[in-house]
């Protein structure tokens, strides 16, 4: 009895989806944007020097498997392509006065340079998309009436890109670029710059 009810529901969903697929395109749809303008919530001072950035791409291969049910009936496997960037920066907000040791007589400056850090990955929405997808019969029917939530793919992509950024070497590049920036800035004032701490 249960399987008959399930089969009936599947047939009804299939018929409704097919009818909607035929009727909606004939009438057409209009998009009306009634959104309010963006409002400024707050303004804050920035003390970060963004010294390097990396561009990353990842292809996610994620399968949602239904236990004890053949993949032809239920389950989904998705290939999701995502691209994004990660900034590496040095934050001067917490630097103390003693971190700069200036010798006016010899025109030298010794700097304790803060270690660089990574920003949260910035995904490029226009470059994130489902490349391929395999779905069981039940998932195909469900997707006809429900919108697939892609948020888990974006979350997984951010985690993968963040992990790749840590291993990419952009932190070292940011540290090197920050040293060059400070050396050039203070050098233009006639000071020779040295850095006391390695990252």
Q: Domains of the chain: which residue ranges? A: 47-133+148-195
Between the two ends of the chain, the Cα-to-Cα distance in Å is: 69
Backbone angles phi, psi at 149, to 5 degrees: -80, 115
What is the value of pTM for the model shown?
A: 0.67
The tens-digit pLDDT sequence of the chain (199 residues) is 554 555 445 544 554 455 455 454 555 567 787 787 777 666 666 678 888 999 999 999 877 766 666 665 666 778 899 999 999 998 888 777 778 888 888 888 888 888 899 999 999 999 999 888 766 565 565 666 566 778 888 999 999 999 999 998 899 999 999 999 989 988 888 889 888 865 4
Return all residues near 184 (Cβ < 8 A) that are at least 6 apart.
none
In whole angstroms, give the CA distance from residue 110 to residue 113.
9
Token pair in block for residue 120: 């949260």
């Amino acid at each position: 009895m249960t399987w008959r009810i399930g089969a009936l529901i599947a047939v009804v969903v299939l018929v409704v989806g097919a009818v909607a697929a035929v009727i909606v395109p004939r009438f057409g749809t209009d998009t009306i944007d009634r959104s309010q303008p963006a409002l400024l919530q707050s303004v804050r001072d920035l003390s970060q020097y963004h010294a390097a950035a990396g561009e990353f791409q990842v292809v996610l291969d994620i399968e949602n498997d239904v236990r004890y049910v053949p993949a032809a009936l239920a389950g989904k496997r998705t290939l999701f392509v995502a691209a994004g960037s990660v900034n590496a920066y040095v934050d001067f907000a917490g630097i103390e006065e003693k971190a700069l040791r200036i010798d006016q007589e010899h025109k030298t400056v010794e700097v304790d340079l803060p270690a660089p850090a990574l920003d949260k990955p910035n995904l490029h929405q226009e470059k994130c998309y489902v490349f391929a997808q395999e779905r069981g019969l039940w998932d195909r029917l469900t997707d006809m009436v429900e919108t697939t939530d892609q948020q888990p793919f974006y979350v997984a992509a951010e985690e993968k890109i963040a992990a790749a950024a840590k291993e990419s070497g952009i932190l070292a590049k940011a540290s090197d670029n920050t040293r060059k920036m400070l050396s050039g800035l203070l050098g233009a004032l006639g000071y020779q710059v040295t850095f006391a701490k390695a990252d």
